[in-house]
């Protein structure tokens, strides 16, 4: 995939350019992103902050906010208001992802059965064939999959699962707090100028 496309590459390239700092972007499977982050080998852009992660990593200010929605096979779930509404269901997720403390805690407690896959398209295929009840997917990815017309049995539920702020993060062992402080200054300037909103809009069209 072209790693220069999308919201995060656009924001990170712009911000690091303003900082005058070198940046090498790599598109990796999420489990490798997280294992490298844990070892202090690289940073991670677009990371959600959970209680567990905050204890081990240093985070920037909010980079972007992602809406995660619940996609259901028609007739499987008619209403979604809270995580407990997923009780007893087969829920498609991405391998290695966190969906926020409430969802992660419920999943570990066995409130519902998670079925991890490598890509959202696999979950939509499983929904269409009746192998899942619901899948949780970032809104933009879900909209793009539905727009293709290949999943007539799948619909999006009105209420989001979460509105997840995302961040740039480094493991505490990497000692990048000074860089993150400078990054935050430029991020705030980008927001105030309106350029942040423009870049996000541009990135979502990629």
Written in H, E and C, the secondary structure of the chain is CCCCCCHHHHHHHHHHHHHCCCCCCCCCCHHHHHHHHHCCCCCEEEEECCHHHHHHEEECCCCEEEEEEEEEECCCCCCCCCHHHHCCCEEEEECCCCCCHHHHHHHHCCCCEEEEECCHHHHHHHHHCCCCCEEEEEHHHHHHHHHCCCCCCEEECCCCCEEEEEEEEEEHHHCCHHHHHHHHHHHHHHHHHCHHHHHHHHHHHC
- Quick: pLDDT tens for 94-141: 998 989 889 999 999 999 999 999 999 999 999 999 999 999 999 988
> Where residue 3 falls among pLDDT bands split at 50, 70, 90?
low
The verdict on 57 and 74 lying in the same domain is no
The verdict on 158 and 83 lying in the same domain is yes
> Does residue 2 lie in a domain region?
no
The verdict on 102 and 153 lying in the same domain is yes
The verdict on 75 and 151 lying in the same domain is yes
What is the value of pTM for the model shown?
0.77
> Does residue 1 lie in a domain region?
no
Overall number of domains in the chain: 2
The verdict on 178 and 130 lying in the same domain is no
The verdict on 139 and 172 lying in the same domain is no
Say if residue 45 is exposed, middle or buried (CB neighbours under 10 Å; 0-12, 13-18, 19+). Answer: buried
The verdict on 153 and 79 lying in the same domain is yes
> Does residue 28 lie in a domain region?
yes
> Does residue 18 lie in a domain region?
yes
- Quick: pLDDT tens for 46-62: 999 999 999 999 999 99
CATH code for the domain of 176: 3.40.190.10
The verdict on 137 and 173 lying in the same domain is no
Which residues constitute the domain of residue 184? 7-64+164-205
> Does residue 87 lie in a domain region?
yes
């Amino acid at each position: 995939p072209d790693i220069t496309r999308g919201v995060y590459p656009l924001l990170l390239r712009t911000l690091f350019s303003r900082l005058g700092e070198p940046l090498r972007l790599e598109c990796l499977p999420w489990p490798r992103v997280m294992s490298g982050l844990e070892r202090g080998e690289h940073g991670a852009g677009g990371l959600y902050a959970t209680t567990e992660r905050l204890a081990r990593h240093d985070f920037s200010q909010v980079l972007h906010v992602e809406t995660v929605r619940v996609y259901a096979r028609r007739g499987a779930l008619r209403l979604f208001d809270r995580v407990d509404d997923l009780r007893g269901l087969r829920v498609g997720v991405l391998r290695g992802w966190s969906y926020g403390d409430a969802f992660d805690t419920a999943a570990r407690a066995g409130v519902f059965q998670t079925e991890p896959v490598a890509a959202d398209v696999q979950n939509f295929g499983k929904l269409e064939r009746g192998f899942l009840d619901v899948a949780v997917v970032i809104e933009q990815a879900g909209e793009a999959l539905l727009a293709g017309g290949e999943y007539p049995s799948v619909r999006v539920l009105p209420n989001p699962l979460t509105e997840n702020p995302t961040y740039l993060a480094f493991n505490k062992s990497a000692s990048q707090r000074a860089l993150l402080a400078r990054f935050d200054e430029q991020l705030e300037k980008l927001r105030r100028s309106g350029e942040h909103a423009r870049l996000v809009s541009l990135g979502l069209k990629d």
